[in-house]
A and B are shown apart, each in its own frame.
Chain A
Amino acid sequence: MKKYFHFICLLLLSPLFLLAQSKTGSLLIKNGTVLTITKGNLSNTDVLIVDGKIKQIGANITAPAGVKTIDATGKFVMPGIIDAHSHIGIDAVNEASNPITSEVAVGDALNPMDIGIYRALAGGTTSSHAMHGSANAIGGQCQTIKHRYGTMNPEDLRMEGAPRTIKFALGENPKRVHGEGRGIQPRTRMGVEQVIRKGLDEARNYAAAVKKYQEEKKTNPNALPPTYNRRSEVLAGVLSGDILIHCHSYRADEILMMLNVCKDYGIKKITFQHVNEGFKVAPELAKFGASASVFADWWAYKFEVYYSTAYNAAILTKNGVLTSINSDSPDYIRHLYHEAAKTQRYGGLTDEEALALITINPAKQLGIENRVGSLEVGKEADVVIFDNHPLSIYAVPQVTIVDGIIRFDRQNDADDQRLEVDPIKAIATYSRAKHDVEDDRCLDGVFEINLDWFKNE
């Protein structure tokens, strides 16, 4: 028993273990400059968090008994940053074996032990959209996660109740993997469109067959259901609007093509990801009501991304397109506030417009704007406290809070934040391929399985 006693003591001493015990917390943030994003800026203001929700925003709030107070005097308090495109916290990115894989879901392979989550928290990012990769014209379902680092349970990472989303991909990636790699459709951008249309057609037929079966079953006990098909089942959810499309895209022509596909199938909501030529078709995107999630100033990493501009986010915003700035990278996710600030140098966006790009706008694109993305009474207490204005080049996140629980604290940032330790090697092995940022991570996992093809290049 003595042995276990030591073991239990070790666990109790670990701060992360304590964090994992409760799912929500209470805090009082005193006397900060509160950037609410949606309701203006409030100086010398307190934010009271009770059981993971924002209870009160105002002056001279006293902390209820037992509630910890954080002094934010001279500091800036803003909603936790939201990244509408990343691949952290998941063990598999691409099921690249078929041009359509709507049936798979990265939410089935959540990895709460990914140290990238802690690093994202250190950059003030409290939620991210863990996306399937872009190997397929229709990829898998994505998962909106909350950065509750400290839990070992994958389910705790899931932002429960967030709308379901799915990855679509246009252009070079699906062409390269399936067309050039295997000599199957899609070999061209035209082929990509047809793959998507065919998938949606099949889903429409499947949904009709299921409906017909359910009707028939009422009168005929021997009615046979259509063969269970998860691929079509999920795409039927896309057609019905239950599942939101996030579409990897670069070129203006294919963006317009995809808008036409949406029109033809009655799909109302779509967010274009990367969308580096979005500035060319901003009015069309605005007219449709499509939104855009872009890089601040990252392009030319492959042929179809040569034509782009750092003014992209500003042009889209000024044209009335709901726009966000994303990372698609375990590095950029740590400084999205700098990425947002670039839109002030390139396009002159206001502080409010720039900060919206990484808070309320991505929240809207993910369908979670009623819960996070701004500091308002009743919303979930995902908060980051900066020492300087977050758009200042000197800004450094000090405390990051998720559901009222401090998940990152710069004053209490131990050297070794791993949750899972290799019992064989003291030093964690660093996988270069996984962390390189020479290319977006959307093709993660594809290179390995297409080795032959790359070799023959």
Chain B
Amino acid sequence: MNKRSLALTAAFLIGWLTTVLAQSTDEALQPVTKTFAFKNVTIVVKPGQIIQNGTIVIKDGLISAVGQNVAIPADARVMPADSLFVYAGFIDGLSNTGIPKPEPRPGEAQGPGQQRGQAQPGRNPGTPTNEQAGIQPELRPRDLINPKDKSIEEMRKLGFTAAQVVPNGKMLPGSSAVILLGGATADAMLVKENVALFATLSPATGGFYPNTVIGVMSKFREFYKQAEQNKAHEKMYAANPVGMERPTASRSFSALYPVIEKQQSISFLAPDLKSIYRVFALQQDLNFQLILSGVRQGWLLADQIKAKNIPVLLSLDLPKAPDKKDAKKDSTAAKDPEMVSLEKRRAEEMKNYETQAAVFAGKGITFGFSAYNAKTADIRESLRRMVKGGLKEDQALAALTTTPAEMLGVSKTMGSVEKGKMANLVVTKKPYFDEKSAVRYVFVDGMPYEYEITPTKPVDANAKVKAAGKWSYKIEIPGQQADGIFNLTDEGGKIGGTWVSSQDGQARPISAAELKGNQLTFSAVANVGGRDIPLDFELTLESAKFTGKVKAGNFGTFDVAGTRDGDPK
């Protein structure tokens, strides 16, 4: 590929991705009326409080009536909801929902092999700008939200109607805001700003300082204390500036002032045990109010967390068990006593992850849930696994509704199905935690989102389909052409081949291909302006066509469909 065509490809693909980011896939219909009613439904008012055969009236964005003997106003659109279940809309305690990952700017670090921080002669990555160092506590979700970001719809489909969202970033990505998961503009979605300051122990990218966790631990302390110094300096200067050096007018420092004044907590991402200990160490040194966030592996510290009375946001990103079929395939491994005991310990450890929420509930720790880093497709399953692990359904529901509403200071308007509250509701076919349950309606701020309950095409592990051949594909990106050819080969069950995008004509290899029954999965890499974007295809094959999905790195998941064009040459 010569330089010119490379540039063209890059230009095209960058254009493609920009369009992808701007696409919307689901838009709230403007309703004829703003009055809605559900009748003969089971209303879970709040955990432990249920109204059977109840009626709910929604008017102008608010719940105007809830109960068994409620008159339905004449202008109400009565939703076909007989015998469905109504819950308060769920609140995601912490995530990046609605905030697209920032596009790397030209010349900026773009992952391994593109570490420009080092590569530029004469430039010391040890003296970064605050932005390069991952220190941007001044960023606010309001300025970053894309109301059409796919993640909003994905979360809403699960029953989430509000979320505490934070900017993407490293050490200090910004402050958090509570937003509604629906609305035409960022301003319309915004419920409350400056709820907490978000922090992580992630090093800066691109080789810039701080480049390791030890760098972050030091820089965090230094930056915090410098902010304290600057705050004291500003106070003295305000009292009498004569003869005094001017304090630094730093947005980054001032973003920390509410934390220093203890008017705001730091929502600190601490997924694993060691991170929790490290965050505790920082808290001990600097004495800030703490919300432990995105906790995955904290059960051993449950007593300490309870004693310190720290609120927690448990991660909805549960580790996924390995495919049992794969383990069974290797029958020799299954008989090996060493493998048996290793597998036993693995399973025990998995149980620790699954029972953590129950352990926390048992200790009386205040906790909500966080979708940060969780795959939305796995969230319902994760919740069910926690319930199987001993978390009572009421406790799970509390962690999805009333508790986060309290934690985020929005309990007056959210968290329960009560008169006068915001009409944030999720309506399901069966009780939410039931495996066969499905979401039928979601109301956000009184606006309905309707979901057809259609069974997805079953995965048939025994189906016999042929993957080898020439297939044409089309990725569904509205308003954008993204199509081409898969040339697949099958050598004794080993699937290989290439894919050719019609947009640039380049043949690129596919990898990690596997055909299980009628399910074909494989990975590929698209190169956009020197940056590799992983593509993960998941296709259900029939004899002459296929449907499925492709996940394009951080840019989201898109539908893909295609037809068989013939056998490979």
Contacts and interface: CB of A to CB of B under 8 A. Distances in A.
B342 A104 contact: no
Q: Main secondary structure on chain B at its contact with chain A?
A: helix
Given A182-B121, A230-B218, A3 B390 contact: yes
B212 interface: yes
A424 B355 contact: no
Interface string A11-26: 0000000000000000
Contacts of B338: 415
A253 interface: no
B343 A111 contact: no
B435 interface: no
Given A224-B245, A426-B342, A453-B119, A109 B214 contact: yes
Interface string B54-86: 000000000000000000000000000000000
A426 B113 contact: no
Interface residues of B, number: 65
Interface in B321-352: 321-322, 338-339, 341-343, 345-346, 348-352
B278 A109 contact: yes
A99 interface: yes
A451 B115 contact: yes
Contacts of B236: 222, 224
B123 A184 contact: yes
Contacts of A423: 319, 321, 346, 349-350, 352-353
Interface in B209-264: 209-215, 217-219, 221-222, 225-226, 229, 233, 236, 240, 244-245
Contacts of B322: 424-426
A420 B297 CA distance: 11
A453 B300 CA distance: 42
Given A451-B112, A455-B113, A95 B215 contact: yes
B11 to A, nearest CB: 24
B457 interface: no
B278 A450 contact: no
Nearest to A2: B390
Interface in A154-176: 154-155
Nearest to B236: A222
Interface in B265-286: 273-274, 277-278, 281
B120 to A, nearest CB: 8
A182 B345 contact: no
Interface string A317-337: 000000000000000000000
Given A95-B209, A108-B214, A229-B222, A452 B119 contact: yes
B107 to A, nearest CB: 13
Interface stretch (B124-132, B403-411, B485-493, B550-558): B124-132
A109 B213 contact: yes
Nearest to B244: A222
Interface string B126-143: 110000000000000000
B208 interface: yes
A228 B207 contact: no
A3 B355 contact: yes
A293 B426 CA distance: 67
B122 interface: yes
A44 interface: no
Contact of B217 (A104, A451, A453): A104
A182 B121 CA distance: 5
Contacts of B274: 91, 109, 111, 113, 154
Contacts of A228: 222, 225-226, 229
A282 B351 CA distance: 58
Contacts of B569: none
Contact size range, A: 35 or more
Contact of A415 (B209, B221, B278, B341): B341
B125 A421 contact: no
B122 A183 contact: yes
Interface string A37-72: 000000000000000000000000000000000000
Contacts of A378: none
B320 interface: yes
Interface string B172-214: 0000000000000000000000000000000000011111111
B244 A224 contact: yes
A420 B353 CA distance: 12
Interface in A101-152: 101, 103-106, 108-109, 111, 113, 132, 140, 152
B118 A425 contact: no
A433 interface: no
Nearest to B114: A452
Nearest to B299: A7
Contacts of A420: 273
A95 B222 contact: no
A182 B212 contact: no
A452 B115 contact: yes
B211 A421 contact: no
A444 to B, nearest CB: 10
Contacts of B319: 423-424
A100 B209 CA distance: 11
A303 interface: no
B393 to A, nearest CB: 16
Nearest to B296: A423
Interface string A297-322: 00000000000000000000000000
Contacts of A415: 338, 341
Given A451-B112, A451-B113, A103 B222 contact: yes
A412 interface: no
A453 B118 contact: yes
A421 B348 contact: yes
Interface string A214-230: 00000000101101111
Interface in A415-457: 415-416, 418, 420-427, 445, 448-453, 455
Contact of B277 (A4, A154, A227): A154
Given A95-B209, A230-B221, A449 B124 contact: no
A421 B115 contact: no
A393 interface: no
Contact of B214 (A104, A178, A183): A104
Nearest to A94: B212
A418 B236 CA distance: 55
A95 B300 contact: no
Nearest to B327: A426
A98 B273 contact: no
Contacts of A99: 124, 126
A7 B219 CA distance: 40
A431 to B, nearest CB: 16
A105 B217 CA distance: 8
Contacts of B350: 423-424
Interface string B293-326: 0000000100000000000000000011110000
A98 B217 contact: no
Contacts of A453: 118-119
Contacts of A7: 351, 355
B341 A416 contact: yes
A453 B210 CA distance: 19
Contacts of B209: 95, 97-98, 101
A225 B221 CA distance: 17
A222 B240 contact: yes
Nearest to A225: B229
The residue in B118, B119, B281 that gathers the most chain A C-beta atoms within 10 A of its C-beta is B118
5 contacts: A92-B215, A104-B214, A109-B213, A182-B121, A423-B319
| Closest 3 pairs (CB-CB, A-B) | A98-B126, A183-B121, A108-B217
Given A92-B214, A427-B339, 4 more contacts: A4-B362, A108-B217, A140-B214, A154-B277
Interface of A: 3-4, 7, 10, 91-92, 94-101, 103-106, 108-109, 111, 113, 132, 140, 152-155, 178, 181-184, 222, 224-225, 227-230, 415-416, 418, 420-427, 445, 448-453, 455
Interface of B: 112-127, 207-215, 217-219, 221-222, 225-226, 229, 233, 236, 240, 244-245, 273-274, 277-278, 281, 300, 319-322, 338-339, 341-343, 345-346, 348-353, 355, 359, 362, 390
